[in-house]
Amino acid sequence: MQRALAMGVGIGIASASIGTASACTSFTLRGNDGGRVYGRTMEFAQPLNSEAVLIQRGTLIQGAGPSGQEGSGLSWTSRYAVIGLNAVGVNDALVDGMNEKGMAGGLLYFEGYAQFQNVPANQSDRSIASWQLLAYVLSNFESIAEVKQSLPSVLVNGSVLQAFGRTVPIHMILHDREGNSLSVEYIKGELNMLDNPTNVYTNSPPLPYQLIAAGNYGNLNAMPPAEITVNGLALPPVSAGAGLLGLPGDFLSTSRFIKALTFSRNAPTNLSSAEQVGTAFHLLNQFDLPPGSQGIPAGGGFGGGGSKATYEITEWSVVSDQKNGTYSIKTFENPDIRQMRFADMPLSGGAIKVMPLDQPQQETPGARRHQGARTALPPAPRRPLSLNQPPRTSRTRPQMLQRCLVHQ
């Protein structure tokens, strides 16, 4: 079975187009209270102008069929309330989120491999657009088992999202409250659902290839290797961190997969889910793209396509506490952590509520140091997002960063 899997992946890679990758990274951590947190970054080469979104219970969402027109596809009424982030000003273009039952997940860029299903003319009413996939799943299901049973009955099309200017080439990762993780990929027009025990997800290539490649890094360990002796000469490790010698340091999707797998496996296990939110943000910092470090050529894909060369940045990072129902956010413009809490939200009402992310920055509590053994600290306070804020306006990259690109 493993051999057949490897052959299938090889065929997919040979037929895929090659380009610069969008650098999203995700993983989960387990708390000592049985809960889990899911963290991810969002990198892109064009401003996504994401907003915080609350999809209330009872909201009618009109699916887009192959034409891309709202209402031409499968329409549904949300069973569960959902909080998360959208993109390009489209409320149901949910790219990351969590529902009130603790199911969390995200859409990550899958350029070169994503190819969605063919929709016969008489079956448009059972079809949704790729950008609606996460909103559909989170508003309807509370477990991976339910997704596996129901998603095959829905056709996902590759219609153009007008605000984006093209088909949105994504794959999806899901994590339910019980700790199950599922990869959803549409390749060559077919739905591929695969359990993902690693709980790690990045971008292209498909997950089976990532899992096979991960076996090459089984030597990585947070603890230093043992001292060796050669003809009576002791050769101890010269520095802490020697156990991670060989850990990839570039931004390739495959390299980030290995880093996220290594860091999440070695994360502390003596912290509660609420405390692991802070751990997750520290891990996410390891995938933060410095401005200008990953360029996109003019006319390129993966968030490019403009007339001028640009670069990716980490637009935002988020952490979902699946046990306690909190969704924490920090952005490129504002590192202050803001939080949405199901307990504070009007979950019923049949509407989609939108909240801007660029609300005023607050002072962050000072750093605290441990003395002796490390013990759990109370989680730092997170500032709640307000529903009563004016909508944000679209923006381009800060001028300072654009000048850096020009002067390279």
Average pLDDT over residues 115-119: 98
When the pLDDT of each residue in the chain is averaged and rounded to a whole number, the result is 85
Longest distance between any two alpha carbons in the chain, whole Å: 79
Neighbouring C-alpha atoms within 13 Å toward the C-beta of 388: 0
Structural domains of the chain sorted by starting position, each given as residue range(s) with its CATH number in brackets? 2-359+381-387 (3.60.60.10)
| Residue 359 confidence (pLDDT) above 90 | no
Measured distance CA(60)–CA(251) in Å, rounded:
39
Peptide bond between residue 47 and the one before it cis (omega within 30 degrees of 0): no
| Residue 362 confidence (pLDDT) above 80 | no
Q: What's the pLDDT tens digit per position in 303-326?
A: 555 677 888 899 999 999 999 999
| Residue 329 confidence (pLDDT) above 80 | yes
**Rg of the Cα trace of the chain?**
21
For Cα atoms 294, 198, 263, give the angle at the middle one, nearest 5 degrees: 55
Nearest one of 118, 111, 284 to 206, comparing CA atoms: 111
Q: What's the pLDDT tens digit per position in 334-348?
A: 999 999 999 999 999
| Residue 1 confidence (pLDDT) above 80 | no
Phi, psi of 289 (to 5 degrees): -90, 115
Lowest mean pLDDT of 15-19, 101-105, 152-156, name the range.
15-19
| Residue 67 confidence (pLDDT) above 90 | yes
Confidence grade of residue 382 (pLDDT, cut at 50, 70, 90): low
Element (H, E) at 83: strand 82-85
Confidence grade of residue 381 (pLDDT, cut at 50, 70, 90): low
Helix (H, G, I), strand (E, B) or coil at 15: helix
Helix (H, G, I), strand (E, B) or coil at 175: strand
pLDDT of 303: 53
Q: Which residue is associated with the tokens 């070695």?
A: 266
Helix (H, G, I), strand (E, B) or coil at 134: helix
| Residue 401 confidence (pLDDT) above 70 | no
| Residue 149 confidence (pLDDT) above 90 | yes
Measured distance CA(26)–CA(104) in Å, rounded:
11
Write down the pTM of the prediction. Answer: 0.85
| Residue 366 confidence (pLDDT) above 80 | no
pLDDT of 144: 98
Q: What's the pLDDT tens digit per position in 139-148?
A: 999 999 999 9
pLDDT of 198: 98
Q: What's the pLDDT tens digit per position in 261-280?
A: 999 999 999 999 999 999 99
Measured distance CA(349)–CA(352) in Å, rounded:
9
